Amino acid sequence: MNRSRISVVILIVIGLVSALTVILGDIASGVLPYSWKPYLWIAWPLFFIFSLVGIVLAIWQRHIDQVEVGEARPSPIRQNRFQAPLLIIAVLFPIGICVLCVIFNAGAGLLRSLSEFVPSLPEVIASGVPRPTSIPLQPPGWRNLGLIGEPISDVSASDGVIYIATNGASHGIFKSEDSGESWRAVNNGLLDFNISLVEAVPADPSIVYVVGKSLWRSKDGGDTWYQIIGEGCGNPPSIALASDDGSIITWLACGGFSVSYNGGDRWLGLIDFPGDILRSAPSDRTIIYGVKFGPPYSDPNILRILVGQDWRPLPHVGPNLEVFDLAVSYYDPTLLFVGTPNGVYRSKDGGGSWIPINKALPGQGKELECKSVQTSPWKDTEVFAVCDGGLYYSEDLGIQWAHLEGPTDITLIHPISGSNIILVATTEGGIWSYEASWVQPATPLPAQE
C-alpha cells in the first residue's frame, strides 16, 4: 500500500472516530455539564464534513490507481503531484479540527465579544443550540445572554452575580459571576430540578434559597445544596426573605405559613393560609403580602401580615378578578401593584383600596393579561409590567406607559439594584438584558431603619 493510500485510510479512520465521539457527546448532552454544550451542537456538521472529505479522497485515490495501472512506469511527477496534497490534507485537516474543538470548547466568551460585528453567532455558540428564527436578533438596547431554550422560571441578581432557576427535568440552577457573560450549572447536592423560585440574600449573595417541591439552601454560592424542608403537598411552595441578611425567612406550603429566625434551621408559628406566593417589602421586610391564585374569586386573594402576627385579608382588586402577580415598592411598603387579566392595578394604602392604571396601555388594559409586575429599585415612581409578552414601563406610577421594543415572549422581569440593567426571561429566547439609559447606575436605596 503506497503512502497516499495510507494517508487516505488514516484520515478516514480519524474522521469516523472523531465523528462518532462528537455524535455520542451530542446525544449525551442532556446529562453532560452545561459548560460542554457550546461545542456539542457542531457534532453533526463535523460528521458530514468528514464523510464528504473521505468520499472525495477515496474517489481521488481510485483515480490515481487507475492512472498508475495504465502506465508501464508511473511518472514520479504524477505520483508526487497527487501524493503531496493528500499528505498535507491528512496532517493539517485533523489539526484544524482539533483547533476548532478548542475554540468551541473554551472560546464561547471570546466569540461573544464579536457580537458587534456578527450579532447572532455568539448567542448560538454560547447557548448550545441554534437560535429560533422567531426571536429578534439583538433589538436596539437589548443583549441576549444565552440559556436559549431553557425553561426559565425565576431570576435573582445583584453585584454582577445572577442566579437563574429552571423547571426542566434535569436543569436546576444556573449561575453567572460576570453579569451574564458565561454560565455554569450549580446543582451539586440538589435533587429537585423543577425549581420555581430562587432568592439570593441581598446582604450576602453567596447565601441562596431555591424552592422546588421542597426548600433548599446554599451558603457557598450554589456549589453545594442542602435540603432544609422536605417535600410537601402538590402545590408549589413559596418563600419570602423577612430580613436583608437572610436570617429571617417565611415559608408558605400546603396552606400553612411559618417563620424561621435562623436561616431555615428551625421553624415556628404555623398559621393557616390558602395562598400561593409571598412577597416581602424591600424597605421593611417584616411586612409580607400573600397572593392566592385562581377561583373562587369571592374569597380574599391578597393578604397582609407582619412577621409574628396573624394574616389580615385585604379588599378585592376588582369583582371576580384574578391576580397573576404582586409587586411591592422598594421605597414604600404600602405602595403595591398587581397584574391581572385586565391590566395593572395600584394601591397606595397597603392594599386597602385599588384603582386601575391602564389608560395608557393597549386597549386601556381590557383583556390585557399582565402576568408579571415589578417595581423599580432606582426610582420610587417607576414600575414595570409584562403584558401579553411585551414589556411596558411607567415613570409616574402608571399614569403614562411606554412600550420597550424588544423580545415579544417575555415571561418575567428583574431590574438589578445598584445598576441600570433590566433582566428579562423569555419563553424560547433565553435571558436578555436591557440597559436603561434613563437610569443613573449607582442610585442608592433608602437607608434601612
Q: Where are the chain's structural domains?
A: 3-106
- More confident: 278 or 107: 278
pLDDT of residue 253: 84
Rg over CA atoms, the chain:
28
pTM of the model: 0.67
Phi, psi (degrees; rounded to nearest 5) at 88: -65, -45
Read off the pLDDT of residues 82-98 as tens digits, 9 standing for 90 and up.
555 555 555 555 555 55
Determine the average pLDDT of the residues in 185-201: 89
pLDDT of residue 130: 34
**How many helices and strands (H and E) does the chain possess?**
6, 28
pLDDT of residue 258: 87
DSSP per position, 273-338: ---SEEEEETTEEEEEEEE--SS-TTS--EEEEETTS--EE---SSTT----EEEE-SS-TT-EEE
Weakest mean pLDDT among 79-83, 137-141, 222-226, 333-337: 79-83
Tell me which residue of 394, 335, 326 sits closest to 360, measured CA to CA: 394
Whole-angstrom distance, CA of residue 322 vs CA of residue 369:
10
Contact 228, 217 (CB under 8 A): yes
Whole-angstrom distance, CA of residue 196 vs CA of residue 369:
21
Which residues, other chains included, contact 305 with Cβ-Cβ below 8 Å and sequence gap of 6+?
257, 271, 287, 288, 289, 290, 311, 312
Phi, psi (degrees; rounded to nearest 5) at 53: -65, -40
Whole-angstrom distance, CA of residue 76 vs CA of residue 2:
13
Q: Is the pLDDT of residue 135 over 70?
A: no
Residue 296 in grid coordinates: 373562587
Strand partners, 142: 434
Q: Is the pLDDT of residue 134 over 70?
A: no
Which residues, other chains included, contact 166 with Cβ-Cβ below 8 Å and sequence gap of 6+?
150, 151, 152, 153, 172, 173, 174, 193, 195
Determine the average pLDDT of the residues in 375-381: 91
Read off the pLDDT of residues 5-62 as tens digits, 9 standing for 90 and up.
665 666 667 666 665 665 555 444 444 444 444 445 555 566 667 666 666 766 766 6
